[in-house]
Amino acid sequence: MGSLSLIYMAYSATRLIIAGKAPAAVFIHGPFGLVTLALSSLFVANRWSWKTVKNMRALVVLFLSTFSGGIYLFSVLSKREKILKDIQQ
């Protein structure tokens, strides 16, 4: 299920970028998400050399910034969609 949501997010971001309607947060959220996924996969793969307190704290900060950025993007894009829908009616 997670891979489907990642594919949908990449598809939506690509459409917004091509259309020229992407908020600046998309360009920050994407790389943060990729780095977070890469570090998370290292931890899940049980690479003990990466499991230091410093790296775990960095991963928590990256995860929280990516998560809050995703919530911000969702709220901005859904608000924009609602405004456009109200204008068309």
Q: Which residue has the higher pLDDT, 28 or 83?
A: 28
Tell me which residue of 5, 7, 23 sits closest to 73, measured CA to CA: 23
d(CA 74, CA 15): 15
Residue 85 has pLDDT above 70, yes or no: no
Q: Where are the alpha helices (H) located in the chain, listed in sequence order?
A: 2-19, 24-44, 53-88
- Cβ contact 62:36 at 8 Å: yes
Q: Model confidence over 30-75: pLDDT tens digits?
A: 888 888 888 888 777 776 777 788 888 888 898 898 889 888 888 8
Four-point Cα dihedral 63, 66, 67, 69, nearest 10: 160
Q: Model confidence over 73-83: pLDDT tens digits?
A: 888 877 776 66
Instruction: Determine phi and psi for 46, rounding to 5 degrees.
Output: 65, 40
